[in-house]
Amino acid sequence: MLNAWLIGLGRITYQLEGDKLRLKPCSHIGGVLYANKYVSKRNQIKFSQFIDCNDKAISDFKKFIGSNPLFSEVCFNDFTFNNKILDNNENPDIAIIATSTQSHFDLLTHLIKRQVKKIVIEKPVVQTSSQAKKINKLLKNSSSQLFINYERRRHINYKNLKRQIEEKKWGEVLSYNALFASNQDSLFINELYEGALLHDTTHMLDIVMFLFGEVTKNNFISKKNCHTLLLTHSEISGEIKTIINASYFQFDLRIFFTNAVIEIGNGYFNVRKTVKSKKYSSFHELGNSNSLTKTYSIKENPFTQLYLEVIHSEKGSLHIFEALQNIKILLT
């Protein structure tokens, strides 16, 4: 079995499993437990350390797992860099970083220098451009493999869309526009919060790089409640708009093809194909919206897929360059 440490015992680690509306699994614990069902026993992940710097977080997590025999041999530790508690343990096969972003750089640096073979980390990887450069340099001189939880890359609808783009199913991509909106009150990082751009827009930026490739040029327009990223890829350009202080949560991507418009977001994947216009002779217009949404099995769930990738891959996330570029663009 693969020995794992889980660092950070909060929302994304297990608490989201309590949300009755979310498709399961939707946390690191859930992803590991379900991924284990699809591999041999020797390739299953077994936790040996649960680590958090907050005693209440540890206490709450112990209540959550109860007397579950899957966690009967687990040790709980309060981790700080002052006491170097992890230095007293042998390296795990896998380390999972599910802490707040401000702790990522120190934790990641520590684990990479220890040559921990596989490291799973929440997005964004780090908080500053200089940190991103340092992590990139460390990885080039380390055997550590990094797996980043940008979950939409592993979602069946976005994977199907990428294939359709490559096959030119709807013709050439002309451009795109994207929107993230929420009730957050800050675009940028501050003393209390990392801001909407680093916390959520990072997902949208990652998915457009997944679909359209590396960003070759970028600029932005920023106002009090709205931030617009202007992005150029090798073949096309597009924009991502982030709106804060809205009374709703919205994640929308609209892609303009020569023969259709695709709209994709949380829970939907729709196409509007060109049809003969009913209003003007010799013209075409967009027809009614038709759903391309695919339901997925537990095995196809993005969290399950993340940990199946961790178990089987020998290369880590191939989009590490894009993940680090993501931070630089958002902090420009």
Q: How far apart are CA 111 and CA 98, in angstroms?
A: 14
Say which residue, 193 or 252, is predicted with more confidence: 252
Q: Is 55 left (phi over 0), alpha (psi -120 to 50) or beta?
A: alpha
Give the tens place of pLDDT for each residue, 131-186: 999 999 999 889 999 999 999 999 999 999 999 999 999 999 999 999 999 999 99
Task: Write out the H or E segment, with its range, that includes residue 184.
Answer: none
Under the banding of pLDDT at 50, 70 and 90, the label for residue 81 is: very low
Give the tens place of pLDDT for each residue, 14-47: 999 999 999 999 999 999 999 999 999 999 999 9
Rounded mean pLDDT of 320-329?
88
Pair 222, 330: CB distance under 8 Å: no
Instruction: Give the global pTM.
Output: 0.93
Q: Give the β-pairing of 290-291 and 268-276.
A: antiparallel
Under the banding of pLDDT at 50, 70 and 90, the label for residue 69 is: confident
Q: Going from the N-terminus, what domains does the chain have, and what CATH number goes with each?
A: 2-151+310-316 (3.40.50.720), 156-291 (3.30.360.10)
According to the model, what pLDDT value does residue 144 have?
93
Under the banding of pLDDT at 50, 70 and 90, the label for residue 264 is: very high
